[in-house]
Amino acid sequence: MNTLHNSQIRLPAEWEPQDAILIAWPHADSDWQPILEEISAVYVELSRQITAYQTLLIATPEPEIVSDRLDTAGIDRKNIQIVKVPTNDTWSRDFGPITVLRDNRPLLLDFGFNGWGLKFPADKDNQVTTRLHAMGIFGKTEKKTLGLILEGGSIESDGAGTILTTSECLLNANRNPQLDKIQIETTLTQVLGAKQIHWLDHGFLTGDDTDSHIDTLARLCPTNTITYTRCDNPEDEHYSDLQKMEQQLHQLRTPVGEPYRLIPLPWPKPSYDEAGERLPATYANYLVINGAVLVPTYDDPADQKALHAVSQAYPDRKIIGIDSRPVIWQHGSLHCISMQIPKGVLP
């Protein structure tokens, strides 16, 4: 396994200053084809909100179509960079670069992406970071390719050495079957600067293809706070496991031995696709940007409670709801389709 030698490594928290957000625009040659108009409208709104605060990088095989769509919507493109790149799909969180600070200088880590355990084609997506880097999009920022299969949605960082993850994902045989838990912890220590790793052994969402990514369940926030998905309906299939996850969260301790401040996120009513399959709606899949937090909403009575809960974790930022019903049609949400690029990466 590649290491980063003896440098001081730190994985910044998402709430630290950012240069940009990376997204991959949906296109007709993808699973979005049946609802391309609806999902494109979500991306337009996402672009509108992000560019009010920072740069937006858009990876797409169809730059002309994206440009026309943004112009038609009246989106100011001065904070937008559209890059022609082939993609399979749109889940930038899981194939985009994971940026660490090595001796206080940004370093792009390009982990392997295998379509969440070979469930979906990922050959083009797995090359997005490499292609963007080769095109000079990240300036002179160094990129390092690592053999570990690791998705951005599977890890949370507090920026000070604590990593929050799930055993269901990182220890799944469809990711890195050659590594056991101790070996994975050693690798995360070496490449992400992890000093403490919290493993959640419970929690899932029906319809989730990621094997319980942490960003659908629990999120690290400033001042030793964790927001988390709570199910309060004993009749729901998720109730027992999410109750166990909540109990485990109460047992976690900060590096100085204190409990975390826990903020529960409400449970939305069940959502289903046209085949009657349940969709993984979750309010935990919000995106933190400079000055704001973009929170998925589902035209649900719990939407306003979710916005309020997130505001408790981020009282200094504007809390903005974005209708994400089309996004969960493909079993993800706002955080899944975006990846932050920390400050200092872009030229």
- Domain positions in the chain are 9-342
What is the mean pLDDT of the segment spanning 317-332?
Answer: 97
In the block, tokens 């994971």 appear at 98
Contact 148, 114 (CB under 8 A): no
What is the mean pLDDT of the segment spanning 78-87?
Answer: 98
Contact 284, 217 (CB under 8 A): yes
What is the mean pLDDT of the segment spanning 212-241?
Answer: 98
Q: What pLDDT does 23 receive?
A: 98
Average pLDDT for the chain: 97
What is the mean pLDDT of the segment spanning 323-331?
Answer: 97
Q: What pLDDT does 2 receive?
A: 45
For 180, the token pair is 């056991």
Please give the order of strands across the beta sheet that includes 55-60.
80-84, 55-60, 18-24, 339-342
What is the mean pLDDT of the segment spanning 254-277?
Answer: 96
Whether pLDDT at 3 is above 70: no
Whether pLDDT at 5 is above 80: no
Q: Is 240 helix (H, G, I), strand (E, B) or coil?
A: helix
What is the mean pLDDT of the segment spanning 46-68?
Answer: 98
Q: What pLDDT does 1 receive?
A: 40
What is the mean pLDDT of the segment spanning 302-309?
Answer: 98
Q: Which CATH superfamily is domain 9-342 in?
A: L-arginine/glycine Amidinotransferase; Chain A (3.75.10.10)
How many angstroms separate the CA atoms of 50 and 294, rounded? 9
Q: What pLDDT does 4 receive?
A: 56
Sign of CA dihedral 26, 154, 341, 42: positive
Whether pLDDT at 35 is above 80: yes
Question: From the CB of residue 57, how many other CB atoms can be counted at a distance below 10 Å?
Answer: 24
pLDDT confidence tier of residue 138, bands split at 50, 70 and 90: very high
Instruction: Please enumerate in sequence order all residues whose Cβ is within 8 A of that of 254, keeping only pairs 6 or more positions apart, or say none.
Output: 162, 224, 260
Q: What pLDDT does 6 receive?
A: 52
Of 323, 328, 277, which is closest to residue 298 (Cα–Cα)?
323
For 345, the token pair is 């990466």
Question: From the CB of residue 163, how many other CB atoms can be counted at a distance below 10 Å?
Answer: 24
